Chain A
Amino acid sequence: MANQGGAQRPNGPQSKICQFKLVLLGESAVGKSSLVLRFVKGQFHEYQESTIGAAFLTQTVCLDDTTVKFEIWDTAGQERYHSLAPMYYRGAQAAIVVYDITNQDTFGRAKTWVRELQRQASPNIVIALAGNKADLANKRMVEYEEAQAYAEENSLLFMETSAKTAMNVNDIFLAIAKKLPKNEQAGQQQSRQRGVDLSQENQPSGGCCK
């Protein structure tokens, strides 16, 4: 099960290149970092370290004639780090909101994230919902249908994934890549500016737990 993951590398020299900023959100320990690690390096660490603040990685996928480069911001899941989150999702073109299918609370928290993104992130952000740890189907607490219905209502991409077995991991990133607008000004310029928007305005001031 090791090392089979990773995504395709860019090949054609003539292909056009788009960069997108993608952010991962979700309750602590649902497997955000594990999904990114699987996607980017094709690995899975059972003792994946918890994330403090945020971590940054990049990965490139090929779609027909386009090369899509993801700049991935993997955020800390603990509620307290919430106040940092806007710094990472502001300006993001895509978000994966992750929950753990063996834990109902994490699904609730995912819904909160979706609502916040819909309110505060860029209006045309592509949001995907990932029900992770699908390998633990026998401990399932969140039904596939329930999550799917919710995703449809909110027009989110939805997949159940497993960072451990690599199931649907590349697929969810690819699905996002497909859905992102790839006209010239969409990808290229916009994300060329910089990784993170740190402007102080409309950043929630003070409290970390809202």
Chain B
Amino acid sequence: MASIGDAELGVSTFCAASHQSEKCGANGLPLTPNSIRILGRFPVLKTLSHPRLCKYVDLVREKHERLIVVTEFYKTNLAAALRTSKYSDTSCLTTLAFEILSGLAYLNSRGFIHRNLSPQNILFDTKGFVKLANYGMYYMTDSGADVSFPIGLLKYMSPEVLAQGRVRVTSIDREYATGWKETRQLSHAPSSCKTDVWSLGIMLLEAFLGSPLWPNLTLQQIIHKILAFAKSKVDPIVLILSDHHGEEKFALLPNEIQSLISTCLTLSPKQRPMPIDLLSSSVFNALKSKEIPYSNGFSMFSTNLRCQDLEIPEYVEGTEEDHAKEEDLLSERSIHEVYYLWRLAGGDLVGALTKAGLVRTRPPITKIANFTLDDGEFFGEGRDRSTLLDCTVVILSQDQLRQRLKHVEPAAFYPLLEEEKNTALHLPISPSSGDLTDTSKLPLVIKERDVEYQFHRAILYERLLKAYPYKRHHIWKEARTDIPPFVRAEIWAALLEVEGDIQGTYDAIDKETPTATDRQIEVDIPRCHQYCELLSSPEGHEKFKRVLKAWVVSHPEYVYWQGLDSLCAPFLYLNFNNEALAYACFKAFIPKYLHKLFLKDNSKVIQEYLAVFSHLIAFHDAPLSNHLNTIGFIPDLYAIPWFLTMFAHAFPLHKLFHLWDTLLLGNSSFPLCIGVAILYQLRDQLLSFGFNECILLFSDMPEIDIERCVQDSIRIFCLTPKSATYRQHAKPSKREQKDSSSKPDVSYYSKDYNHQPLTDLSMHPVPLEDLRAQKCPFISAEDLIQLGELMGSSLTKSPTKKSASGKPLIIILDIRPTEDYLRGCVPGSINIPFDTAFNSDGDFLPSPAVTKLNVHKTQVKVVVGSRDRSAIKFAESLLRLGYNRACVLYKGVDVLRPTGILTVPTPDL
């Protein structure tokens, strides 16, 4: 990303044409507002990057179809320079032409045209280089169809543009059969890149003549003039020169330049050259040889060689004084980042515009119509001046931002990444500054608004991302603290281990050929997260459809289930400008968390998932589980949309981002813990509700405090023995990890149970019926040995377990008859024989063992029995009596015999 340098942030505003009120499309639903259409087209403009263009930074939608554009901006422009005699110098004139053409040629190469060229839109940066501005207007307004003013200044419009008149939408069709796609017919075909060449010709003439053309003519007369060119047999250039008595002066120009200008002004667009043709003219040879090849710098996930066009910053040998002068480090950040920080530092776009008088509010009473038809059409309202175009650009002051960052150490702009060793023990330490650790502990909503904190985080992450995948490990570690919104898209991709030629992969997929799922996709998209402006735009719908189709086509083993759309939405939103990356993330996410859930017949997988979820509820909250079971409020009724969309159907995007920031660090069982955390947050209500109220509560997802939910899920996860969430349909282990060194330091927190080697002591598939029938989870002998430290911690097989801190404490209940117990038992286990444990009411009969159990009530209770069902029944009794954290040793005590752990108990119990 090129740095902002000494560019300003400029803001301007315009209004989209509003639809007649109450007008509906063919499907009976309101038409998409034009401002939303524009908003959907805008993001791609941000990807245009060339030294001769002003960058687009942001587009914000306000009330009443108002749009606010933020761009790179410079104060000087060609309109001012024209009035000097500067361009009578031929080399200045050639340079001007060359720089404008370079910008245009780049635009054309990316499939855009300017169509808005005028001296006001040709800016000069502080070094005097051309920066084209406003080149996005024509594109983002659909050739001008979405606004009520013409795009471009009349005087610079080519005859063919003027002859066509105003662009308008002639018909809109929103066909049901093809979903809600809106197809629009414009009154004529869009302009070509050659109209820009004409405008260039006019400007070059003005520059060379040193005065504006036709200064005394009215607009009508100018239109008349230009249209008259078409009828005349004489070349336009000759007519114009004679109008301005410039023939003699023109004749003095070198031939090459004469012909450059006159070919620009070729009447017929067919014969008029394109910018790229003109660039090859020999006039520019000298300039071309001096040109420095431009590359767009580093970009993630690209297959280009990273160091091919290594940009080595200019080394300026300065005097002592120069060094003493404070360096402006902020100006070396990208314009997008500076703008992001500017907003965090309290920047207010509307405020800036209002102050400049560009946004005026009219009292509503002045907007009342004089006459209204009963279909809602009204008349007699004066034209609202605010719908007209005002090209004024207001400069956004960066003072406040610079003030806020004033005391940031210069070194903080270049954080060191290799300091991990001393900080390895504590997660939330960022190498940049110490006091960040304090901020990092604040609630997310505060952190995300703290400009200084975000500044440090963004810089650190950008550095890490440049070293991805090498620095993946470090990214994981930082992500456990938080993920700044500015880099979320890339961080998520890194956490999902996206790598390789993502663009090539995506391009190779056929996203166009109709398939049987198209209808479902097309009716789902216009219902998916549509409060989000980007996703509700026609551009958004198109992208959405392509990404979903790409996934369906590339996964023949899976099918499209309603809900996949919700799952895709966050990735599309974050990577709106990079469909390939959106697809790559989406594709990587599904096997990680939703393995097999999109099989055509997924019922076994879902059933198992929900059964394990029930166990988990019982494990962590016995009273709640008992209540929900009594009223018949089972997960099948409410949790399918949660898990099938990883909560993307349950929460709005802004909440989902925070949820997934953590989800992505967890393993495939983590979502189950999120589910429990949601119930936990609503616990009091659920406990007091009957069936109807419970299910009503979830048909509209109630307000959930996501940050609390995330914290709770982590806690729940850490208190759950891994094997308790074992699912046979979870993703099988990838035994041969590519290379463990580049793998993140996965702790207990993120490693999947299924990724450990299988032994006799591990979990094995349990028949679905059994799983559904039992209420408490199993735990594997492996987990028992590990959690009970039965072999000493060094001997345990799990490579991931290092610190004991996050480990749940356990108490082992041996429920076999005492004589069996005395013959050999797990060390430390207490014996409560099942047959004599309970009285006729189902309560515990008092005994020293029961007392001991009650002392350790909060610990995980592992019920150890023989192979029969009594251990399960015992655990269920614990559950019924309101004991949390009861689980059953899978396969009973026999499984431990070969390990040699079993001992004869010492008689003190």
Q: Could you list which residues of chain A lie within 8 angstroms of chain B, going by C-beta atoms?
A: 28-29, 46-58, 71, 76-78, 80-81, 83-84, 87, 100, 102-103, 133, 135-136, 139, 164, 194-196, 198, 205-209
Contact = CB atoms under 8 A, between A and B. Distances in A.
Contacts of A135: 28
Contact of B27 (A48, A81, A136, A207): A136
B391 to A, nearest CB: 35
A51 B566 CA distance: 11
Contacts of A51: 562
Contacts of A49: 527-528, 649
A53 B640 contact: yes
Contacts of A103: 176-177
Most buried by A among B536, B565, B634, B641: B641
A132 to B, nearest CB: 11
Q: Which 9 A-B pairs have the closest CB atoms?
A: A47-B530, A29-B523, A52-B641, A53-B640, A56-B695, A55-B699, A78-B562, A194-B632, A46-B29
Given A80-B561, A103-B176, A133-B28, 15 more contacts: A46-B29, A47-B526, A47-B531, A50-B528, A53-B637, A56-B696, A71-B692, A77-B562, A80-B562, A100-B176, A194-B691, A205-B603, A206-B601, A206-B604, A209-B601
A80 B562 CA distance: 9
Nearest to B176: A102
Contact of B699 (A28, A57, A205): A57
Contacts of A208: 600-603
A110 to B, nearest CB: 16
A209 B600 CA distance: 8
Interface of B: 26-30, 176-177, 520, 523-524, 526-528, 530-531, 536, 559, 561-563, 565-566, 600-604, 631-632, 634, 636-638, 640-641, 644-645, 649, 691-692, 695-696, 698-699
B520 A78 contact: yes
Contact of B636 (A28, A78, A87, A207): A87
B538 to A, nearest CB: 14
B696 A76 contact: no
8 contacts: A47-B531, A49-B649, A50-B527, A87-B636, A103-B176, A139-B27, A164-B29, A196-B632
A50 B527 CA distance: 6
B632 A50 contact: no
B645 A52 contact: yes
Most buried by B among A57, A58, A207, A208: A208
Most buried by A among B26, B28, B524, B632: B28
Given A49-B527, A78-B562, A102-B176, A57 B600 contact: no
A28 B638 CA distance: 19
A116 to B, nearest CB: 18
Nearest to B695: A56
Nearest to A41: B700
Nearest to A196: B637
A136 B28 contact: yes
Nearest to A48: B527
B649 to A, nearest CB: 6
Contact of A195 (B30, B632, B645): B632
Contacts of B632: 194-196, 198
Nearest to A136: B28
Contact of A52 (B634, B644, B691): B644
A71 B637 CA distance: 14
Contact of B641 (A53, A102, A205): A53
Contact of B176 (A58, A81, A139): A139
A194 B692 CA distance: 9
Contacts of A102: 27, 176
Nearest to A78: B562
A28 B30 contact: no
Most buried by A among B26, B520, B559, B562: B562
Contact of A47 (B527, B603, B692): B527
B561 to A, nearest CB: 6
Contacts of B536: 47
A54 B27 contact: no
A81 B562 contact: yes
Most buried by A among B631, B695, B696, B698: B695
B531 A57 contact: no
A28 B51 CA distance: 50
B523 to A, nearest CB: 4
Contacts of A194: 631-632, 691
A54 B28 contact: no
A85 to B, nearest CB: 12
A84 B559 CA distance: 17
A40 to B, nearest CB: 10
Nearest to A87: B636
A56 to B, nearest CB: 4
Contacts of B527: 29, 47-50
B835 to A, nearest CB: 31
A50 B521 CA distance: 11
A17 to B, nearest CB: 13
Nearest to A80: B561
B691 A28 contact: no
B572 to A, nearest CB: 16
A83 B636 CA distance: 12
A44 to B, nearest CB: 10
Contacts of B600: 80, 207-209
Contacts of B696: 56-58
A10 B603 CA distance: 41
B27 A198 contact: no
B691 A195 contact: yes
Nearest to A88: B637
Nearest to A141: B176
B453 to A, nearest CB: 35
Contacts of A57: 696, 699
Nearest to A76: B562
Nearest to A100: B176
A195 B559 contact: no
A139 B174 CA distance: 11
A102 B559 CA distance: 27
Given A50-B528, A53-B640, A195 B562 contact: no
Contacts of B565: 50
